[in-house]
A and B are shown apart, each in its own frame.
Chain A
Amino acid sequence: MQPNYGTPPNNYLVWAILTTILCCLPFGIVSIIKAAEVNSKWAGGDITGAYASSAAAKKWAIVSAGVSAGVIAIYFLFGVTMGVNSSF
Chain B
Amino acid sequence: MTPTVHARLTRAAPYWGPIAVGVAALCAATVVAAVDPHEAGHYPTCPSLFVTGFWCPGCGSLRALHNLAHGDVMGALGMNVLVVIAVPFLIWRWGSWLGETLGRPSQRRLAPPWAIWLLLAGIVAFTVGRNIPVLGPLLAP
Q: Which residues of A approach B to under 8 Å, CB–CB?
A: 2, 7-8, 10-11, 13-14, 17-18, 20-26, 28-29, 32-33, 35-36, 38-40, 42-43, 71, 75, 80-88
Please determine whether A8 and B60 come into contact, CB atoms closer than 8 angstroms.
no
What residues make up the interface of B, taking CB atoms closer than 8 Å to A? 37-50, 56-63, 80, 82-83, 86, 89-90, 93, 106, 108-113, 115-117, 119-120, 123-124, 141
Give the 4 A-B CB pairs with smallest separation, nearest first. A83-B44, A36-B116, A40-B113, A83-B45
Cβ distance B20 to chain A, nearest Cβ, rounded Å: 15
Report yes or no: A39 in contact with B110, Cβ–Cβ below 8 A: yes
- In the bound complex, CA of A18 to CA of B49 (Å): 17
Query: Within the complex, which residue of B39, B44, B90 is in contact with A80, where a contact is CB–CB below 8 Å?
Result: B44
- On whether the beta carbons of B116 and A25 are closer than 8 Å, the reply is no
User: What's the minimum C-beta distance from B82 to chain A, rounded to whole angstroms?
Assistant: 5
Cβ–Cβ < 8 Å partners of A26 in chain B: 48, 56
Contacts of B80 in A (CB 8 A): 21
By beta carbon, the residue of chain B nearest A38 is: B110
* Contact indicator A22/B61 (Cβ below 8 Å): yes
| Bound complex: CA A32 to CA B48 (Å) | 18
Q: Is the CB of B58 within 8 A of A21?
A: yes
Cβ-neighbour of A14 out of B49, B60, B90 (below 8 A): B90
- Bound Cα distance A82, B49 (Å): 12
What are 24 sample pairs from A and B whose C-beta atoms fall under 8 A apart? A2-B110, A7-B106, A13-B116, A14-B90, A17-B86, A21-B83, A24-B48, A24-B61, A26-B48, A28-B57, A28-B58, A32-B119, A32-B123, A36-B120, A39-B116, A80-B43, A83-B40, A85-B40, A85-B45, A86-B37, A86-B42, A86-B45, A88-B37, A88-B44
